[in-house]
Structure 1
Amino acid sequence: MMNLLLSAFSEFPNNDTGGANKIIYQILRGIDYSKYSVDYLSKNLFKNFTKPEDLNSQINSSLSTKKKLGRFMFYNFSFYRNIVLSSWYFSKNLKATNRFYENLRLDKEYDVLHAHDTRSMYYLKKIKDKKKILTIHSDGSIVNTLQNYLGDSSISKDIMNKYLLYENESLKIADVITFPSQAARDLFLEEKAEIGIDLNKIKVVYNGIDTQFIDNINVDENFKKKYFLPEDFDVIIFNAASHISIKNIDIVIDTVYHLKKKYNIRALLLNAGSGPNTTKLLTKIRSLNLNSQVRFLGRVPSIEIIKLLKSADILISAAERVVFDMIILEALMAGSVIIASNRGGNSEAIIDGVNGYLVDELNGERFADAIMCIDRNVSSNARKSALRFDLLKMVLGFENLYTN
């Protein structure tokens, strides 16, 4: 049996989040526990996993009361969320994380370290293992993600410089570096051209989803009442994205406006997400007189994301710098009509006009035009194409790297 250590910078495996910890959660669901003894490590959790059942209860029972309270406040109180996303807090958290890893003592020997971000790879470089695998989930360098949330304050730049050093060191010590799409790989390598990454250790392992689980989710009347999904709209549009600039939620809002102005179509837009741009987006909604046609739902659990996909007529994603968004894969399996930006990994999942639609020119009028031209037969093609990205295929891809 191989000893495997999965690591992330912070938080814990969680299907209701995105990025590293969502993928780790999927690995824990699909990995063969008869072959692997699996540990997970981050600043907030160190735990051994022995079975895929009851993952949520296994994780929740191991979290500290302080962590549970902090997470509750983050998702329910905007003032606390603003503090956590501030440069000051990031700086404070960086120092605390440094202390945590400096004092960390791991006596267990691991056959494989699979780090899901460059920071945890950097911090864990001292542990005893035989193979180091690094998976990059960010849209290019980690600096891009930080800039989206922190801006350009002096404290932010200090943090970014430190993380950039950690990132470059991690790329050197990793034996294998994986990306969730070819586009993610190309974007990252373009930004890191100056450090000369060995291309022989680069692999692509596509993100995966639990296709059977998604297929079995049904929408009932109680759910429709909870989210107040009326039938007096011509079309219901769903968008799941954080309120940051590269997600282009303003373009999705403009789409609703152009449907109304150009085509006399009354659309309802539901957005699952939050972030630093929320106030600015709300101002835009009021200026376009779309208060009754746009709703921000905030944080939505993953199972309800699937139900919203199945309830809506269309999923729109206008994002730039696309890695390989899980929401696109989930929408394919849910049978959604997808209209997405022709950026990054989207073109690796969507064939324009076959299982969805790709838009080159990112503005609201072009997305509105695309909506008016859709063929709903793409829905059945979407479901079939989603099987290419089944969870077990992703897990098998990683297992092959662990043992090869």
Structure 2
Amino acid sequence: MNLAFICTEKLPAPAVKGGAIQLMLDGISPYFSQKYSVTIYSITDPLLPAENTENGISYIRFPRSSFHEETAHNLKEKSFTHIHVFNRPNEIWRYKQASPDSKLILSLHNDMFSTRKLKPNQALTAIQDCDAITTVSEYIKRTVTVRYPEAEEKTHVVYSGVDFSKFYPSGSPEGIKIKDLWRNKYGLQNKKVILFIGRLSRTKGPHLLIRAMEEVIKEHPDAVLVIVGGKWFSENGINEYVQYLYDESESLKKHILFTKYIPSEEIPNVLLMGDMLVCSSQWHEPLARIHYEAMAAGLPIITTDRGGNSEVIIDEMNGYVIKEYDQPKAFAAHISDLLTSTALSAALGKNGRLYAEMNFSFLKTAEKLEQIYLNA
């Protein structure tokens, strides 16, 4: 198998600036490179050369402004058996023309078949031109197949995963050492730490957690909400919403900490600072990969019943799913429960780690994709 992965035109690969697609590729491509020829196309970045080979994986990068055109032109010079395109159904026709004999696989990490993004005739053409479609959650699968039943037979759910060698469970000796180190770094010794990790956008809902803290600290005056992230992946600039978060937290200075952007390779360590992770998504989240990472770190998770998030969190097994997703008091109640019962919190975290090990390794993701490629 001669395999090409084509990223979107937003972030480079490897994941030097984060990104769920790029992180997944970093995780699965070593598996494929041991058995097959692997090429990854992504946009250029000052941190990376235009072309290089690393660990048996070839990387080819083109400018964002002409990424799809140049990638398609380059494909004509290659002989890929399989071309795996991420999140760009509107570009499938281009890659079909460039390499008509290749099997085309389309992966969806978002609702890319929305009528706001794709006209029905474009959608049907993309479905017809694909040999297989994969989605990161059952929710995202439904966004395709409910609109276009023609896609049902060729659409498969493939959950993402993590590299467990990079995650120490929170209660392990190594995890405890890292926890102490990072808590000392941020002055969080002897604190109860609630983590939010994600982009600072209204759709992610961190403002609701700030409001929830007003209730939490009444029962747990030593609690601190640590908000990890920037306004856009690796960007730490201030926009109207970020300024709003700062203003909202002003009266709770001792209980709210903004770390700004932290590189993805440090997230396994950052997670160990926390007593829990809270995902406060307000939009129909495809399925935020931070759920996998928090489970790998052995943290209990509080998430919202929005999009695909609840597919990997089983209520009272590895966390809680909040149906009143826009109510700060609902978050406050579950946060307080976990802070009050350390035994419950530890049990949910341990269950999450075991559940993730069984279901959400990059190896399992790669093996499922391999079967899809071979059967396409």
Q: TM-score, normalised by structure 1?
A: 0.76
Q: How does 1:59-78 map to 2 (within 5 A)?
A: none
Which residue type is aligned with residue 194 of structure 2?
I
Distance in 2, matches of 1:263 and 1:396, equals: 47
Q: 2:337 aligns with which of 346, 362, 373?
A: 373
Change (3 A) 1:384 1:298: same
Q: 2:205 aligns with which of 224, 243, 248?
A: 248
- Displacement, 1:206? 1.1
Distance in 2, matches of 1:106 and 1:295, equals: 51
* Cα RMSD for the two superposed structures: 3.1
Distance in 2, matches of 1:281 and 1:208, equals: 30
Distance in 1, matches of 2:120 and 2:226, equals: 36
Q: How does 1:118-133 map to 2 (within 5 A)?
A: 118=88, 119-128=90-99, 129-133=101-105
Q: Which moved more, 1:4-13 or 1:387-396?
A: 4-13
Q: Which residue of 2 aligns with 1:80?
A: none
Q: Would you say how many aligned residue pairs link Structure 1 and Structure 2?
A: 346
Q: Which residue of 2 aligns with 1:348?
A: 311
Change (3 A) 1:163 1:27: farther
Change (3 A) 1:318 1:27: same
Distance in 1, matches of 2:50 and 2:246, equals: 43
Distance in 1, matches of 2:128 and 2:27, equals: 27
- Displacement, 1:42? 2.9
- Displacement, 1:24? 1.6
User: Could you tell me the percent identity over the aligned residues?
Assistant: 23
Distance in 2, matches of 1:287 and 1:325, equals: 25
Change (3 A) 1:213 1:164: farther
Change (3 A) 1:98 1:180: closer
Q: Which residue of 2 aligns with 1:283?
A: 244
Which residue type is aligned with residue 103 of structure 2?
K
Distance in 2, matches of 1:42 and 1:166, equals: 24
Q: Does 1:106 align with 2:76?
A: yes
Which residue type is aligned with residue 135 of structure 1?
S
Distance in 1, matches of 2:94 and 2:50, equals: 15
Deviation string for 1:131-161 (max 9, x for gaps)?
A: 11000011x13769xxxxxxxxxxxxxxx76
Q: Does 1:38 align with 2:38?
A: yes
Distance in 2, matches of 1:315 and 1:239, equals: 6
- Displacement, 1:361? 0.5
Give yes or no for contact 1:143–1:164 (8 Å, CA) kept in 2: no
Which residue type is aligned with residue 368 of structure 2?
G
What's the secondary structure of 1:373's corresponding residue? helix
Distance in 1, matches of 2:300 and 2:180, equals: 22
Q: Does 1:307 align with 2:277?
A: no
What's the secondary structure of 2:332's corresponding residue? helix
Change (3 A) 1:181 1:3: same
Change (3 A) 1:201 1:162: closer
Q: How does 1:98-247 map to 2 (within 5 A)?
A: 100-101=70-71, 104=74, 106-118=76-88, 119-128=90-99, 129-138=101-110, 140-141=111-112, 169-190=125-146, 193=147, 195-215=148-168, 218=175, 219=178, 222-226=181-185, 228-233=186-191, 235-247=192-204
Q: Which residue of 2 aligns with 1:7?
A: 6
What's the secondary structure of 1:27's corresponding residue? helix
Give yes or no for contact 2:230–2:261 (8 Å, CA) kept in 1: yes
Distance in 1, matches of 2:274 and 2:267, equals: 11
Which residue type is aligned with residue 369 of structure 1?
A
What's the secondary structure of 2:25's corresponding residue? helix
Give yes or no for contact 1:14–1:25 (8 Å, CA) kept in 2: yes
Distance in 1, matches of 2:52 and 2:91, equals: 17
- Displacement, 1:165? 7.7
Q: Which residue of 1 aligns with 2:372?
A: 401
Structure 1 unaligned spans of 5+:
68-92, 145-159
